[in-house]
Amino acid sequence: AQSVTQPDIHITVSEGASLELRCNYSYGATPYLFWYVQSPGQGLQLLLKYFSGDTLVQGIKGFEAEFKRSQSSFNLRKPSVHWSDAAEYFCAVGATNDYKLSFGAGTTVTVRA
Amino acid sequence: GAVVSQHPSRVICKSGTSVKIECRSLDFQATTMFWYRQFPKKSLMLMATSNEGSKATYEQGVEKDKFLINHASLTLSTLTVTSAHPEDSSFYICSALPGLAGGILTDTQYFGPGTRLTVL
């Protein structure tokens, strides 16, 4: 069974500073990996995904993530955060046979001025 | 593109009543839809997988008689919470997996905005 761990429950970052959110996964084969963002009152929006190929994945809103098989990690980064990046971020791992997703517990990002 | 809607966005009902939540893929066909439940400050928990034209597959621990799922068309899945009780109060989220799109099978779930259910 697949699983995801997001070690950081809450991160506070200053506007303009860099952001890195950690994600570790457990899956027996090459996983499908996703980062979603959830803003208050809104649904989950896909930031980026990794299926195969280049391990550095570019997403929307200036986010990127790097797949590191040796560390079973898929950390999300943004060089310079904006106040609008304050939200809940979820990492998810998907099974390649039935597309079911297992989500991490989420990381709440607060952006201070 | 790839928009998923849910209706209603929020519902309050009395204990013992049934509530139906609709999930629609607006601009694509979805052979598979998923239903999740999200508790406050918690992650999403997969409840069931809904495939068009067949019975839903429920995750372990999810009562299939309480959470009835129907996937009647390629754009609509419904979740009915039967005989709702206060412990069923939660945020329910659906997602849709596009089928063949332009000849390419897509592998990404698109999520609806969620439905907040409060059972009094």
**Half-sphere CA count of B63, side-chain side, radius 13 A:** 9
Cβ distance A38 to A92 under 8 Å? no
Does the beta-carbon distance from A105 to B113 stay under 8 Å?
no
With b for 16 or more beta-carbon neighbours within 10 A and e for fewer, the B83-109 pattern comes to ebeeebbbbbbbbbbbeeeeeeebebb
Question: What residue of A is the nearest CA neighbor of B92?
Answer: A43
Tens digits of residue pLDDT in A52-107 = 888 999 999 999 999 999 999 999 999 999 999 999 999 999 887 778 899 999 99
Say yes or no: A50 contacts chain B, CB-CB below 8 A. no
Q: What is the mean pLDDT of chain A?
A: 93
**Chain A nearest C-alpha distance from B1 (Å):** 12
Q: How far is the alpha carbon of A57 from chain B, nearest alpha carbon, in Å?
A: 15
The pLDDT confidence band at residue B103, using thresholds 50, 70 and 90, is low
Amino acid letter at A103?
A: F
Neighbours of B74 (CB within 10 A): 16
